[in-house]
């Protein structure tokens, strides 16, 4: 099976440019991805962050859906414990009205923020994460499955009433989400770019525990969210990687600043311990010339039994980021004008 290719966009804020620029760069890249033949364009959710501008992915989904013609558009994901399942159902039904048959609704359980921000979003945050499975089932009910007899909100309708429904995914970086996706018969995406710890075991757990459900998938469908970066030459790709490398160092020590430039990364006074830490990450990084990155992505997907990869390529230079995705599309032979993808 040919590996399917999608884009995961965190609307990364780059040093020297504001969050408004990050949003505009997201909109511009999505239109290009539609032309280049990518199957999906997914938007992440983060709050109270100096690193990422995408605090309301549902709004970006609507904006992109309205200005593209064939690519599927969705979230990776909506952090459901922050919100009412009814409201999320209504938001994504509106998105379906904008782009029928092209909307993905990826759901996550993690806060996408710090603990204080989680409470600011939902004063019952201490209980909300534990209710995630029930929220997902309520959401599926309002999207078209129907709520069960005796449900206190069975008489409440999620509007607008539209003939199509979004494709619901479960996202995660642990076995929790994998088990839930398997139990509900939903597609699953593992956030490999957050942590690769035990990733092959988690995706195997999803496949082995999968239970087909009426009106959903007949078989497991797995994707990986992966950091990857390419350029015209291997040397240039590794040069561009320096900014992400420094940002990763910051992240791993609890700091979340804007993405530094290559020049800022080259001038940073790394300690021996920091260099050793980054060398371990660099050894596994999916960076290089287009054919090298293609081969690494295919090998990673095969090891996880994944049919799709959603590629995250934060890059300080927006033109270099666009070039990376264009080169990757060409390496995979993506066909512009292809029909949007659905999980099988």
What is the DSSP code string of 86-140? HHHHHHHHHHHHHSTT-EEEEEE-S-SS-HHHHHHH-TTHHHHGGGHHHHHHHHH
pLDDT of residue 90: 98
Residue 181's pLDDT is what? 98
Cβ pair 185, 211 in contact under 8 A: yes
Q: Which two tokens stand for residue 193?
A: 């770019």
Half-sphere exposure of 148 (CA within 13 A, CB side): 4
Q: What is the reported pLDDT for 339?
A: 63
Rounded Cα distance between 294 and 299, Å, is 9
The structural domains of the chain, ordered by start, are: 4-236+288-332 (3.20.20.30)
User: Under DSSP, is residue 223 helix (H, G, I), strand (E, B) or coil?
Assistant: strand
pLDDT tens string, the chain, 344 residues long: the values are 689 999 999 999 999 999 999 999 999 999 999 999 999 999 999 999 999 999 999 999 999 999 999 999 999 989 999 999 999 999 999 999 999 999 999 999 988 778 899 999 999 988 888 999 999 999 999 999 999 999 999 999 999 999 999 999 999 999 999 999 999 999 999 999 998 889 999 999 999 999 999 889 999 999 999 999 999 999 999 999 999 999 999 999 999 999 999 999 999 999 999 999 999 999 999 999 999 999 999 999 999 999 999 999 999 999 999 999 999 999 999 976 566 677 87
Q: Report the pLDDT value the prediction gives residue 338, as an integer from 0 to 100.
A: 65
Q: What is the pLDDT of residue 59?
A: 98
The pLDDT assigned to 344 comes to 73
Please tell me the distance from the alpha carbon of residue 227 to that of residue 289, in angstroms, as a whole number: 15
Tokens 């021996």 identify what position? 272
Three state DSSP letters for 167-196: EEEEEECCHHHHHHHHHHCCCEEECCCCCC
What's the first-to-final CA gap in the chain, in angstroms? 12
């Amino acid at each position: 099976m040919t590996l399917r290719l999608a884009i995961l966009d965190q609307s990364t804020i780059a040093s020297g440019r504001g969050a408004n620029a990050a949003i505009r760069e997201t909109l511009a890249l999505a239109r290009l991805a539609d032309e280049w033949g990518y199957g999906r364009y997914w938007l992440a959710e983060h709050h109270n962050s100096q690193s990422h501008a995408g605090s309301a992915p549902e709004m970006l989904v609507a904006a992109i859906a309205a200005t593209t013609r064939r690519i599927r558009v969705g979230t990776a994901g909506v952090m459901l414990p922050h919100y009412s399942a009814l409201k999320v159902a209504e938001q994504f039904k509106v998105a379906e009205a904008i782009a029928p048959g092209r909307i993905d609704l990826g759901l996550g359980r993690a806060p996408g923020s710090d603990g204080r921000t989680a409470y600011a979003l939902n004063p019952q945050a201490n209980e909300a994460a534990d209710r995630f499975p029930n929220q997902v089932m309520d959401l599926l009910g309002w999207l078209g499955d129907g709520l069960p007899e005796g449900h206190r909100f069975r008489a409440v309708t999620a509007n607008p009433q539209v003939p199509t429904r979004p494709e619901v995914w479960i996202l995660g970086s642990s076995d929790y989400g994998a088990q839930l996706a398997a139990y509900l018969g939903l597609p699953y995406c593992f956030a490999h770019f957050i942590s690769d710890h035990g990733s092959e075991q988690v995706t195997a757990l999803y496949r082995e525990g999968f239970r087909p459900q009426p009106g959903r998938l007949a078989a497991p469908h797995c994707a990986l969210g992966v950091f990857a970066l390419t350029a015209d030459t291997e040397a240039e790709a590794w040069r561009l990687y320096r900014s992400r490398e420094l940002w990763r160092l910051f992240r791993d020590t609890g700091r979340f600043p804007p993405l530094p430039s290559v020049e800022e990364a080259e001038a940073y006074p790394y300690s021996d311990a920091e260099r050793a830490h980054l060398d371990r990450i660099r050894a596994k990084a999916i960076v290089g010339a287009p054919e090298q990155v293609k081969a690494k992505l295919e090998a990673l997907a095969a090891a996880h039994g994944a049919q799709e990869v959603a590629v995250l390529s934060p890059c300080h230079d927006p033109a270099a980021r666009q070039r990376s995705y264009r080169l990757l599309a060409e390496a995979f032979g993506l066909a512009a004008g292809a029909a949007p993808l659905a999980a099988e």
